[in-house]
Structure 1
Amino acid sequence: MVEYTGAFKAAVVQAEPVWLDADATIDKSIALIEEAASAGAQLIAFGETFIPGYPWWLWLDSPAAGFEFFGRYHENSLTLDGPRFKRLLDAARTNNINVMAGFSERSGGSLYMGQALISADGDLVSSRRKLKPTHVERTVFGEGDGSDLAVHDTPLGRIGGLCCWEHLQPLSKYAMYSQHEQIHVAAWPSFSVYKGAAYALGPEVNTAASRMYAVEGQVFVLAPCSLIGDAALELFCDTPAKQQMLQRGGGFAQIYGPDGSPLAEPLPEDAEGILYADINLAAIAVAKAAADPVGHYSRPDVTRLLLNQTQRRPVEHTAPRVETLEEPALPEPETAQA
């Protein structure tokens, strides 16, 4: 494993997408990429399904009522080989910055909650899918598999990511820690639904999940978080009841050190902007000296994790067997006797 001891500046986004409009949201993403690069950042992270925005209608009405949104959402989801996604690759290369994008991935007729790590050279390092969409998300999105629990070597360090309530899955977290992750992107949509009625969906619990991930794994955690603004309220909340269920704000982006300390000054929850922090990987060794959950602080004789990272797809193509008919061998001609 490569050892990284350098320092760099990281950036996390707190912003509202341009809802159900991939092209406009990519325009906005590129502007944020340019801003972060101009500020000296070498890595920028976006929230869960920032492109084309999180499907908030799922939490506000019946699945059937959301059909009016689904067609637009499907059309504005990204394919990894499409021209929209290429714009993100080009923006990373042009601005010489690594990008962790959050997007809805379209593959055939299915959608997945995607995170893509793009190098500063504009190459796709990896693309993962949320392992298990949460609650009503399952009415829109499919599942990932064990190959989506992966950490990747980059010039900045070993980078991984999870989405939203994947940070409440102890075994998934341990799988990531076991790969000696150093920089983790914890992507969130916003904490603005069911305020006062569902404490587990609020900022107290979910920011604590990001912070605890940093402490448990002794990693730097970049926690981008989108927010709800006037555009979302106008689009999704056409009744007083919906206006009560989804409220303005919900942005709680932060960056945490490997000891759990916040490294950036937070923005107001309804304000757009970019948070920055200096990342020094040398701090990880100090944190792990006290408790390394996959090293000296583990007890494999008592508990161990079985991690299956096999990529699972519904269809596996194998080469057809080709039958060849061989001509029967002819007898050797007899040699003439002298």
Structure 2
Amino acid sequence: MASQMHAIEGQTYALCANSPVSQADNDRNLPRTDQPPQEGRWQRPAWGGAAAVYAPDGRRLTEPADSAFDGLIYCDIDIDQIGNAKAVVDTVGHYARPDLLQLLVDDTPRKHVVRRGGRYEVAGTLLSAHKPLSNLVRCETQHDTE
């Protein structure tokens, strides 16, 4: 599925190549113990054969192979299909539009610490910059009675 998604997202042909794994190869990958393998382990008995070619629109172009198939798969591809897929799904084209996206670089040298007057200036606390709630309520009440 990852190869199919790569084909769709990249609007390109994707080749998924792998080799079948025989039971003997699978057994060599198991830990060496005297106990038999546990049921449900990730190792499957003789598997593989999932090689495929996917088109830019995600279609599988090759027939599914037998899981024990050990050989080559091939198919004809049409390079023009890449352009057709890119015209339908433009995953990166909007980044080329300066009216939608702009990268601004300010390369002015900056310092992490800025001192003013030889000492750090504190503008007070956040609460000191605002009126208390009781004053705001009093002002609204006076405004309503006028």
TM-score (norm 1): 0.26
Q: In structure 1, which of residues 217, 221, 231 is the aligned counterpart of residue 14 of structure 2?
A: 221
Match of 2:53?
Answer: 255
| Greater strand content | 1
Alignment check: 8 A CA contact 1:266 1:275 kept = no
The SS at the match of 1:216 is helix
The SS at the match of 1:255 is strand
Q: Quick check: 1:291 aligned with 2:84? A: no
Q: In structure 2, which of residues 71, 76, 97 is the aligned counterpart of residue 278 of structure 1?
A: 76
Q: How does 1:1-338 map to 2 (within 5 A)?
A: 207=1, 209-237=2-30, 238=32, 239-241=35-37, 245=41, 246-247=43-44, 248-296=46-94, 301=100
Q: Distance in 1 between matches of 2:29 and 2:68?
A: 17
Alignment check: 8 A CA contact 1:225 1:252 kept = yes
Letter in 2 for 1:271: F
Q: Distance in 2 between matches of 1:287 and 1:236?
A: 41
The SS at the match of 2:53 is strand
Alignment check: 8 A CA contact 2:95 2:101 kept = no
- 1:232–1:241 CA distance, 2 compared to 1 (3 A): same
Q: Distance in 2 between matches of 1:240 and 1:269?
A: 24
- 1:275–1:298 CA distance, 2 compared to 1 (3 A): farther
Give 1:219 shift.
0.2
TM-score (norm 2): 0.55
Q: Distance in 1 between matches of 2:37 and 2:55?
A: 40
Q: Distance in 2 between matches of 1:277 and 1:226?
A: 18
The SS at the match of 1:276 is coil
Match of 2:140?
Answer: none
Larger Rg: 2
Runs of 4+ with >4 A deviation = 296-304
State the identity %.
Answer: 37
Give 1:289 shift.
0.9
Letter in 2 for 1:268: D
**Number of aligned residue pairs:** 97
Range with bigger deviation, 254-263 or 274-283: 274-283
